Homo-oligomer: A and B are copies of this chain.
Amino acid sequence: MEPTRWLDEQEQWTWRNFLWGARLLLEALDRQLQHDSEIPHTYYMVLAALSEAPERTLAMGQLAEVVCSSPSRLSHAVARLEDAGWIRRTKRPSDRRTTLAQLTDAGLATLAAAAPGHVEAVRQHLFDRLTRDQVRVLGEAFEAIHAGLDPEHTRRLPDRDGRS
Contacts and interface: CB of A to CB of B under 8 A. Distances in A.
A17 interface: yes
**A interface secondary structure, majority:** helix
Given A119-B4, A122-B15, A135 B68 contact: no
A32 B152 CA distance: 13
A128 to B, nearest CB: 8
Interface stretch (A23-31, A75-83, A88-96, A97-105): A23-31
Copies held by the complex: 2
Contacts of A36: 157, 160
A148 B23 CA distance: 13
B28 A149 contact: yes
Given A5-B119, A6-B119, A11-B127, A143 B24 contact: no
Given A21-B141, A36-B160, 18 more contacts: A5-B119, A6-B119, A7-B127, A10-B135, A10-B139, A14-B135, A15-B126, A17-B139, A17-B142, A19-B45, A21-B145, A31-B157, A32-B157, A125-B145, A125-B148, A129-B145, A129-B148, A134-B144
